[in-house]
Each structure stands twice: as structure tokens, then as C-alpha cells.
Homo-oligomer: A and B are copies of this chain.
Amino acid sequence: MKKIATPEPETTTRSVSIAESLRCAILAGEFAPGERMIEIHLCERLNVSRTPIRAAFQALAGEGLLVHTPNKGYYVREFSLEDIVQAYEIRAALEGLAARRAAQMGLTREQMEAAEAALLAGDLLVEKESFTQEDRSRYGQINKTFHDVIHNAGGSSMIKDMLRISEQVAPSSHHNVIAFEPRDVRRRHDDHHRIYEAILTRDGGRAEILMRDHVESVKLSLIRTLHSKPSSN
């Protein structure tokens, strides 16, 4: 066996790649919540038989993006406002757990570098008076990097799996109206600094509390936004 330079054989199947693109399409909103996913339609669009389509549907149902009813088929999962609020509560609990574990176990050199780079990039972005759409998506990236470092440091694969599911709830919904005002973003970025500090000082309890409140605050601002303009549905 030579295969030294290729840790991954890169062998994938149609089912897997179809599942990937369908996931992206659903998260991008190309299918409406509650919409029925009809196998044959996708067969024609993707030029494959029903078999890999079904496999992809089943995989996505396992991730919670589709729901299956026997003899009726697969539907894009609908999330109620209540579902989204609860997803944030779950995230708060799980991310808090991951932060505590990250503090207890410590970060590797690479993880520290990645987190600090994300913090620095955020510092620069946050100084701006107002945000363009690009700034917002850039902040989303920075935010994701920071949280990912903590998940990898403190999260088991199980925590990461569950976080992935609960993170998919909000984006896949049309209720997704997160506050991106400079004031909110600055506050959340400041949270990141404090959380990182708590992790560096190995203060697991503080890291957990800060992270929980950090995620809960997004939930609260979501609720506030919806109360002020409930007709945005």
C-alpha cells in the first residue's frame, strides 16, 4: 500500500453528492418549507434514477431537513417560530457545554491562532459606522469560525452533530431575521472576547455562562424583532 499522500480516497457516490447539493438548496431557500419533494421531478433535473434521490432524501430526513410520511413522501420541514426559539435554547445549552469543556481541556496552538485571527478580523469590522450586506456575511463567517474553534476544542462529535442540526433550523426558515445592526454586532463581538478570555484562563463555569447568554441574546433579539413587526411573516 503506497497511498501516503492521500488520506482520503475521495470516493463518493451519487447519493452523497446529491444529498450535499440538496442540503445547500434547501438551506438557500430554493424549496419552500412544507413543499413536497417529488422524486421523479428531481430525477429529470439531475439525470439520475430514483434510487440515489431516495437515498439522499433519507439522509436529509435524518438531519431533520426533510420529514417523511410513509406512502406519501418527503416534505421540506417547516419550522414554527416556537421551533426556532427552542432551537436557540438548545444551541445555548449545547454551546455553553462546549465552551465549558473547551476551557477545561484547553486549546491547541492552532485553535488559539484561529480564534485570535477571528477576533482580530472582527475588531476591524466592528469599527465601521454602518454595515454593507457584504460586511454582514463577512461577520457571519468570522462568527462561524470562532464558534467552530470552540466546538472542535470542547465538543465531541455528538455535540457537533446536534449543534449542526439546531443551527440548520433558523437559516432554513423564512422567519430568519437576526439583528445585524452595528450595535448588536459590536455587543456580540465583545461577548466573543470575554468568552475567549474565560477559556484561556480555564474558567469553565464563566465560559459556559457567557456562551449561554451570548446565544440566548440572539434568541431574545429575534423575539424582540418579531414583536415589533409581527407582520413580516
Residues of A near any B CB (own CB < 8 A): 11-13, 15-16, 54-55, 58-59, 61-64, 70-71, 82-83, 86-87, 89-90, 93-94, 96-97, 101, 156-159, 161-162, 165-166, 169
- Rounded to whole angstroms, the CA-CA distance of A114 and B144 in the bound complex is 43
- Asked if A159 and B13 sit within 8 Å, CB to CB, the answer is no
Count of chain copies: 2
Q: Which residue of B lies closest to A70 (CB)?
A: B13
The distance from the CB of A157 to the nearest CB of chain B, in whole angstroms, is: 8
Contacting residues, chain B, for A83 (C-beta < 8 A):
156-158
- Rounded to whole angstroms, the CA-CA distance of A90 and B100 in the bound complex is 12
Interface class of chain A by DSSP: helix
What are 16 pairs between A and B in contact, CB < 8 Å? Answer: A11-B70, A11-B71, A13-B70, A54-B55, A58-B62, A59-B62, A62-B62, A64-B158, A82-B156, A83-B156, A86-B156, A87-B158, A89-B101, A90-B158, A90-B159, A93-B93
Q: Which residue of B lies closest to A92 (CB)?
A: B97
- Asked if A162 and B90 sit within 8 Å, CB to CB, the answer is yes
- Asked if B97 and A93 sit within 8 Å, CB to CB, the answer is yes
- Asked if B162 and A162 sit within 8 Å, CB to CB, the answer is yes
- Rounded to whole angstroms, the CA-CA distance of A58 and B85 in the bound complex is 29
Contacting residues, chain B, for A90 (C-beta < 8 A):
94, 97, 158-159, 162
- Rounded to whole angstroms, the CA-CA distance of A62 and B166 in the bound complex is 15
- Rounded to whole angstroms, the CA-CA distance of A180 and B55 in the bound complex is 42
| Interchain CB contact (< 8 A) of A16 among B54, B70, B96, B159 | B70
Contacting residues, chain B, for A63 (C-beta < 8 A):
62
Contacting residues, chain B, for A86 (C-beta < 8 A):
156, 158-159
Contacting residues, chain B, for A64 (C-beta < 8 A):
158, 161
Contacting residues, chain B, for A16 (C-beta < 8 A):
70
Contacting residues, chain B, for A161 (C-beta < 8 A):
64
The distance from the CB of A199 to the nearest CB of chain B, in whole angstroms, is: 17
The distance from the CB of A169 to the nearest CB of chain B, in whole angstroms, is: 7
Residue with the greatest number of chain B CB neighbours at <10 A, chosen from A13, A71, A83, A93: A93
Residue with the greatest number of chain B CB neighbours at <10 A, chosen from A86, A165, A166: A86
